[in-house]
Amino acid sequence: MNSYDAIVIGSGFGGSMAAKQLVDAGMKVLMLERGDWVKRSVEENWGPKGSIDLSPFYDKSSLLYVPVGGNKPTMGLYSCVGGPSVFYGGVSFRFREADFEKNEQIEGKDAQGWPIKYNDLESYYTQAEGILSISGETGIDPTEPRRSAPLPQHAPALANISQKVKSSAQKLGLHPFQLPLAINYEDTSRQTCLNCKTCDTFACAVSAKNDLATTVIPQLMAKGMGLQHNMVVTKLNVQNGRIVSVDCVSKTTKQQHTFTADKFILAAGSLGTPHILLSSGLPQYNPGGDVVGRYLMRHLNSIIFGIFPGVADKEGRFHKQLAILDYYFGHPKAPEFNKLGSLQQMPTPPGSVVENELKGVLGKMLSPAVKLLSGLLAIVEDQPQYNNALTIDASNPDEFGLPRPIINHNYSDRDNAAMKILTDEGKKIMKGAGALTHYVHEIRTFSHAVGTVRMGANEKTSALDENCRFRGIENLYVTDGSVMPTSAALNPSLTIAANALRVGEIITKSN
């Protein structure tokens, strides 16, 4: 049996950033990751099977059963070393100051907000931006929060289609600005971005994306961190109010393993983390254990695709570049909403992705037409609802002995009403950019899932305290997106990273 100062379960933003603090403090750390390393090559990463849902890293070995709310009745998990960072589009936003405050419109009459505030995370946001070398521009967005340091990289030049979208938005009196992106544009000691079209949902074949498997995990391993990949965690074992060991099964050899440690950090994602907690029977030790798996949020996401009279992106380049947050805190014509959401530019999708979404003849017919498309992603902050949940069915275990995870999710009337306002504004912007008409595509994945093991001051309604320690278990912390009490209306990755750095530092000081 191998023993460590700390075991980190999951290698995404929550796991890697917490591990960084521990490793840098000299602790002996083991990271357990369910997935494999993503090999980098043009053929594997940028080919027709390179998009995450078409790749081997869309893991179906522990299927999610989704009776309500999914894009399919059964769905896979995203599993690889580096987690979703390997396949994401690099968007790395800070939440706004007001996102941390209580808001009855979002949370209901018992609103509590976050147990920490923006100022508690600001320095960690700065650290995370430095680690990920974020590019972008500041001083334009009216909702931009206070920052103590500039972004590490300047924003790259805009694509022609992005210029058209920017001009259209400005004519409407809006303030478009360039997205903060974790992509290497300036460090010539390694490969810089080629502006290819296969970025969002694709691994970078030339490692120009500043994902965790490229920029963080190899450095941690060089400093002594152990990594066991293709390792499925099946149970956390508790004794006298502490986790004493973790049981695992190797996906490749099917052998069982047990590892011990003084401290445990659970960062298996907002679906994987509650699955492990519920499977291990840990909610029984927690005064707020009833909420484990509950209050699942994932944003209400829709793409407003403008359909152009000819090729929308004549340069054939990556153009997920702009954001428009003028309606983040409401709309002049809808005073009943004090928060709406964000608009972010979306590039033309590859034909292979369309064929996967639209099966059969229809997909093959329409995939060549994607060159006429460019769009805006509308992200609405969805309300945390108790009945939106991941639960388990122990009577149907998978090949590793884990009980079946069941997800039910419905959006609220408020979520849908907010989306209607935001998509209407997106259509105006795309029309001004030259689109003849539009098509709105609703996204029903769980790529922005947060909130299933939330932190809070009230121990009856939140499983974690303000330091993200699991109540009732002395040495168990959670550092992924599941800790979030609300989802804001921005990509959660940088906030997960910043909070994990915060919690990792707390753990090192208590060691």
Whole-number Å distance between alpha carbons of 289 and 283? 4
The model's pLDDT over 248-266, given as tens digits with 9 standing for 90+, comes to 999 999 999 999 999 999 9
pLDDT at 45: 87
pLDDT band at 365 (very low <50, low <70, confident <90, very high): low
Angle, helices 13-24/493-510, rounded to nearest 10 degrees:
30
Q: Which residues contact 271 (CB under 8 A, 6 or more apart)?
A: 64, 77, 390, 405, 407, 446, 449, 452
pLDDT at 47: 81
Task: For 409-492, list the strands marked E by DSSP.
Answer: 437-443, 476-478
CATH code: domain of residue 76: 3.50.50.60
pLDDT at 468: 98
Looking at the 3D structure of the chain, how many domains does it have? 1
- In this structure, the dihedral spanned by the alpha carbons of residues 477, 478, 484 and 489, taken in order and rounded to 10 degrees, is 140
Average pLDDT, the chain: 94
Task: For 451-498, list the strands marked E by DSSP.
Answer: 476-478
Query: What share of the chain has pLDDT > 70, as a percent?
Result: 96
Whole-number Å distance between alpha carbons of 399 and 254? 9
The model's pLDDT over 196-217, given as tens digits with 9 standing for 90+, comes to 888 889 999 999 999 999 999 9
Domain range for 125 is 2-510
